[in-house]
Structure 1
Amino acid sequence: MPKQVQPLTQLQVRNAKAKDKPYKLADGGGLYLEVMPSGGKLWRMKFRQVDGKENRLSFGAFPDVSLVDARAKRDEARQLLAAGTDPARARAEQARQARLAEQNTFEHLARDWHRTMINKWQPQTADEIMRRFEADIFPAFGHLPIAEIQAPDVLDAIRAIEQRGALEIANRQTANCSRVFKYAIRCGLAERNPAEFLREVLQPREKGHFAAIGAEGLPEFLRELYANEACMGVPTRIAMRLMLLVFVRTSELIETPWTEIDLEKGEWIIPWKRMKRGKRRINPDKTDHHVCLSRQALGLLQDLHRHTGGGTYLFPNLRDPKRPMSNNTVLKAIERMGYKGDMTGHGFRALAMSTLKENLGYRHEVVDRQLAHAQKDKLETAYDRAKYLEERRKMMQCWADYIDRVAAEAMRASPGRADNSMP
């Protein structure tokens, strides 16, 4: 028959004095207080494992763990034993799960997902995604175990972004959070995606467009361009006119090396690696782009060659000729003309597309290919390269002639201004 143990009292525990060697004060049910020579008092429990081997559990030190708390821990361990579960192993598993929960926070999984995806993004895209996580999401719920995060946790963080008016960023952050949760599900670390349907409750965002004038605003724009050219350097003046004539993307123009231009043949072919869709990490479009130069555009390039033809770039940086002109040069020129907020470098493309289709009657497919927009499939891409090139050459000459006519009419309507018509 087991020996009956008299339970300890609070006074006994508090008054237990240290001795030369450790000694034990039993409380019953395997629980005892071990008093150390240093004066420390540790709660322990002796028990036999399911396989009959003797083992011990530690419940902490008095007074951090009171007598009542120690007994509660003992009773919990005894319940596990009665159910055939080893309390030591149960505690180890609980500690392991706690460590996993601490490691598998949203921030930990988001950074892990980011590392797996980084080679599929452009560097600036990867940097922007992580920067937004660090600014908007991690401070809100990044510290929480991903399996415990609820939809309101995510929504509160997204609403905070909406409140500062950044509706597009709110939408993107919701999508990226959803991707992290899906990654956690695939890794077996979560069972649901609390961000999956949140985009349906976000504030609707207005479709944005680059600022651009329409065909009706072209005469006044040309008048302002010619009036302000005296304040521009020759390369900037020619860059502005070429933006209008060939409507390539600003970076594609200012970063052009002279090696791409054949002045004798009148050709400009941009290698696919310099094009927007050619820079994609995944499935880049390896189609070189024919700019299709009009007589007027070729004349501008011949004039420019006399100024910068000895260097690498059409438009060298004034401070460092080994680098191309800054994009801000074009934006500042537009600003000095009084068109800040009404026109951008990209606006020349929008102006050309709408005017060529609506005023000059060109088909969307031809204009779209000249703008180097993505095609629907490879067959269509091959077809428009073969079929549209001659049409595009005619269209670009027609566009340049149209600008000349508009410029001439605009200058006649403003007799006080000098005639600076396009060459």
Structure 2
Amino acid sequence: MPLTVLQVDKAKPKDKDYKLSDERGMFLLVTKAGGKLWRLKYRFDGKEKALAIGAYPDLSLKDAREIRDAARNQLAKGIDPSAEKQAKKYSSVLAAENSFEVIANEWFAARMQEKSETHKVRTRSMLNNYLFPFIGRKPIQEITPLMLLDTLRKMEAKGIVETARRAKQTASQVFRYAIITGRAQHDPAADLKGALQIPKKRHFSALTDPKQVGGLMLAIDSYHASYTVKAALKCSALWFCRPGELRTLEWANVNWDEKRIEIIAEKTKQQHIIPLCTQAIELLESMQPISGYSKYVFPSNRGMSRPMSENTIRVALRTMGYSNDDMTAHGFRAMARTLLDEVMNYRVEWIEQQLAHSVKDANGRAYNRTKHLPQRFEMMQRWADYLDELKAAALSGNVINAKFG
């Protein structure tokens, strides 16, 4: 006779494991430890086997019978249900090992080590917050363009259009990594060309009016902060390099004999030279007693073994009263770019070279790092002197608007 739910509920453990038969080969195994396990006894290729169906009460009597019937249907088709179950289990494990999240983490470890800390943190945050929650557990080869688009649309709905565009680029790199490692055949991100919103181009806020720039330099002089922060602010204006290049600058990058800084540009990955004006040399010399025993010229206030935080300049500007719409750490570059061109009349290619932008000659060849270096030395010294003049004018209430030839 088939079992009833009452019989199953009342089954108690004994000194030894025992069975309660149901029907069509299924039985309940009651263990001496108190477990109640559904099993199906069957024969395949002349051998007696048992299929583990599940445990009671997690799997009810009704549900266990449905699984039993499905297994017997497989037997009628010549399929061994135990072998099929193992195959599906292995397939699930393999799918988990080849999920987007697993492969993305592998890609991150293999390909992101040479990137800047800022880039690594931004990419990791993008994966964890926007991609993994929606497609992280899916086998990478099963992710379709529509699945990825749906994920990116959720980001656009939050107004983070530029982040959605970058997430698509990151996902594409993960898919391409999966392809070359033999775990995917196609990059679904490549099919989404033109599918995302076009972000509005946003420029970093910067002060470009001579009077306002003079006020900024005066505010930096009057700013109550550590000497390291004030020196970093002044050098931001003097060098107008990228914020990451300034805060991670090492003493090893300072060539005292040639009076210049020699670095690898953060964006182009090309060698770059920053000529040192007399004001910058004085600032660096004054920093030596403070950070000369550190690797970094501008170390973190939390310890000399790490560079200044990427937020230090931003926070300093906010503390001085400049909002994000007024001035940013990156804005020192636009400030110099505008005034050197429009007020001081320096050649654009010299300015672009000093900004470490990709500049090419008439034949399409990239200028080398020493191109126009004597002219750039003169320009950087004149720029430093001009900033001092603007600061003096702000202090006296005058404004310098003269054109420089």
TM-based fold match above 0.5? yes
Out of 271, 275, 294, the position equivalent to 1:292 is 275
Residues 182 and 385 (structure 1), Cα distance of their counterparts in 2 relative to 1, 3 Å cut: closer
Counterpart for residue 73 of structure 2:
76
Residues 367 and 152 (structure 1), Cα distance of their counterparts in 2 relative to 1, 3 Å cut: same
1:60 aligns with 2:53: yes
Out of 322, 327, 331, the position equivalent to 1:339 is 322
CA distance in 1, matches of 2:300, 2:68: 81
Contact 1:174-1:199 at 8 Å conserved across structures:
no
Residues 374 and 161 (structure 1), Cα distance of their counterparts in 2 relative to 1, 3 Å cut: same
Contact 1:158-1:173 at 8 Å conserved across structures:
yes
The CA deviation string for residues 80-119 of structure 1, in whole angstroms up to 9 with x for no partner, is 32xxx55554443233223323443332232233233243
Following superposition, the deviation at residue 173 of structure 1 comes to 1.6
Counterpart for residue 375 of structure 2:
391
CA distance in 2, matches of 1:206, 1:327: 25
1:222 aligns with 2:222: no
The CA deviation string for residues 224-249 of structure 1, in whole angstroms up to 9 with x for no partner, is 53377345577766655554344334
The correspondence of residues 62-141 of structure 1 with structure 2, limited to 5 A, is 64=60, 66=62, 69=66, 72-81=69-78, 87-141=81-135
CA distance in 1, matches of 2:37, 2:116: 60
Counterpart for residue 276 of structure 1:
266
The CA deviation string for residues 234-275 of structure 1, in whole angstroms up to 9 with x for no partner, is 77666555543443345555656499364xx7x5322336x5
The correspondence of residues 30-69 of structure 1 with structure 2, limited to 5 A, is 31-34=24-27, 43-49=39-45, 53-58=46-51, 60=53, 64=60, 66=62, 69=66
* The 10-residue stretch of structure 1 (35-44 or 337-346) with the greater mean CA deviation from structure 2: 35-44
Following superposition, the deviation at residue 68 of structure 1 comes to 5.6
The correspondence of residues 300-339 of structure 1 with structure 2, limited to 5 A, is 301-302=281-282, 305=285, 308=287, 310-313=289-292, 330-331=313-314, 334-335=317-318, 338-339=321-322
Contact 1:43-1:70 at 8 Å conserved across structures:
no
The CA deviation string for residues 270-301 of structure 1, in whole angstroms up to 9 with x for no partner, is 2336x5359xxxxx53x351x334xxx41564
Counterpart for residue 176 of structure 1:
170
Specify the SS of the correspondent of 1:58.
strand
The CA deviation string for residues 107-155 of structure 1, in whole angstroms up to 9 with x for no partner, is 2232233233243433443343223222223223323333444444433
Residues 208 and 245 (structure 1), Cα distance of their counterparts in 2 relative to 1, 3 Å cut: same
CA distance in 2, matches of 1:407, 1:183: 52
The correspondence of residues 153-192 of structure 1 with structure 2, limited to 5 A, is 153-192=147-186
The CA deviation string for residues 289-335 of structure 1, in whole angstroms up to 9 with x for no partner, is 1x334xxx415644874x55544459767968957776766545544
CA distance in 1, matches of 2:108, 2:99: 14
Contact 1:171-1:202 at 8 Å conserved across structures:
yes
* The 10-residue stretch of structure 1 (61-70 or 365-374) with the greater mean CA deviation from structure 2: 61-70
Out of 329, 333, 336, the position equivalent to 1:352 is 336
Counterpart for residue 136 of structure 2:
142
Counterpart for residue 205 of structure 1:
199
Length-normalised TM-score, structure 2: 0.71
Counterpart for residue 244 of structure 1:
237
Contact 2:235-2:280 at 8 Å conserved across structures:
yes
Residues 79 and 139 (structure 1), Cα distance of their counterparts in 2 relative to 1, 3 Å cut: same
Contact 1:232-1:333 at 8 Å conserved across structures:
no
CA distance in 1, matches of 2:152, 2:239: 41
Following superposition, the deviation at residue 370 of structure 1 comes to 1.7
Question: Which entry has the higher C-alpha Rg, 1 or 2?
Answer: 1
1:357 maps to a residue whose letter is D
| Structure 1 gap ranges (5+) | 1-7, 279-283, 418-423
Contact 2:17-2:31 at 8 Å conserved across structures:
no
* The 10-residue stretch of structure 1 (106-115 or 316-325) with the greater mean CA deviation from structure 2: 316-325
Residues 117 and 76 (structure 1), Cα distance of their counterparts in 2 relative to 1, 3 Å cut: farther
Specify the SS of the correspondent of 1:272.
strand
Q: Report the number of matched residues.
A: 380
Specify the SS of the correspondent of 1:44.
strand
CA distance in 2, matches of 1:187, 1:321: 41
Contact 1:257-1:312 at 8 Å conserved across structures:
no
CA distance in 1, matches of 2:90, 2:141: 15
CA distance in 1, matches of 2:188, 2:272: 44
* The 10-residue stretch of structure 1 (342-351 or 36-45) with the greater mean CA deviation from structure 2: 36-45
Residues 338 and 182 (structure 1), Cα distance of their counterparts in 2 relative to 1, 3 Å cut: same
CA distance in 1, matches of 2:369, 2:210: 30
Residues 56 and 104 (structure 1), Cα distance of their counterparts in 2 relative to 1, 3 Å cut: same
2:197 maps to a residue whose letter is Q
Contact 2:253-2:263 at 8 Å conserved across structures:
no
Residues 97 and 268 (structure 1), Cα distance of their counterparts in 2 relative to 1, 3 Å cut: same
